[in-house]
Amino acid sequence: MFFRILSVFGFFFLYAPIAALVFYSFNASKLVTVWGGFSTKWYGELFGDPQILGAAWISLKIAFISASISVVLGTLAALIMVRFGRFKGRTLFSGMITAPLVMPEVITGLSLLMLFISLQGLIGWPVGRGLSTIVIAHSTFGLAFVAVIVQSRLVDMDKDIEEAASDLGARPVRVFFDITLPMILPALVSAWLLAFTLSLDDLVIASFVAGPGASTLPMVIFSKVRLGVSPDINALATIMIGIVGLGIFCATLVMLRKSSREG
């Protein structure tokens, strides 16, 4: 009972700030303590701001491309770890796919930037920094998260079907595309979503490796909120929470349906 009361406070703690953001996005007054009446003017301001819209578009592009690269590379990495047995450099390899999970973002960002700058001096690539350098950075840390998810799925998976297929003469590539891939597909979808979200959310690494031209959405938000509360960011937060909430709600509904059908 005691825990129940505590956890009510816990959920309140979790949701009060979010509720306040949503509430104040409709407040006509700029001050959080004054209710100036219901208004959607901050939404108007938000959609009239080319800087925020441009940054949002850049962020979505980066997140889409880097999540896709992460899933391809991360799935390969997971397959190698689970199905390939011993090979030269395995310890190094497994270290490199788990290290990004514990690496502070400031270190990842700084070191990648230093690499890009010295590469530019040595071989003339990449020319300047922008979208492509952010994509590379996000793909690299996304890879680690994808590898963890896919690895645990592969470990749980029944190996018999794969073995049966190869006993019947299917080549490894065929086994992968006909058997393994369809079985791990749900894991790939959630891994892609995670990589997408992490990329969309990243401020620190992008700030280091972005050139002067490319500002991502978190970079624009950060420079705005550093100066204090700004109501159009409340409106932006409300929209994002709405999209995520809807997505999670639908996913939960699907899951509940599935489990009630099975049970």
197 binds other proteins (CB under 8 A): yes
188 binds other proteins (CB under 8 A): no
Long-range contacts of 59-63 (CB under 8 A, 24+ apart): 59/199, 59/200, 59/216, 59/217, 59/218, 60/200, 61/131, 62/131, 62/134, 62/135, 62/138, 62/199, 62/206, 62/216, 63/138, 63/196, 63/197, 63/199, 63/200
- The residue (of 107 and 185) whose beta carbon lies closer to other proteins is 107
Among 53, 82, 157, 204, which residue interacts with other proteins (rule: CB under 8 A)? 204
13 binds other proteins (CB under 8 A): yes
237 binds other proteins (CB under 8 A): yes
Footprint on residues 84-123 left by other proteins (CB under 8 A): 84, 87, 89, 93, 95-100, 102-108, 110-112, 114-115, 117-118, 121
- The residue (of 9 and 38) whose beta carbon lies closer to other proteins is 9
As measured in angstroms, the least distance from the Cβ of 68 to other proteins is 14
Footprint on residues 30-49 left by other proteins (CB under 8 A): 31-33
As measured in angstroms, the least distance from the Cβ of 140 to other proteins is 5
76 binds other proteins (CB under 8 A): yes
Footprint on residues 127-166 left by other proteins (CB under 8 A): 136-137, 139-140, 143
With contacts defined by CB under 8 A, how many residues of the chain interact with other proteins? 84
As measured in angstroms, the least distance from the Cβ of 197 to other proteins is 6
250 binds other proteins (CB under 8 A): no
208 binds other proteins (CB under 8 A): yes
Q: Which stretch binds other proteins (CB under 8 A): 39-47, 155-163, 183-191, 236-244?
A: 236-244
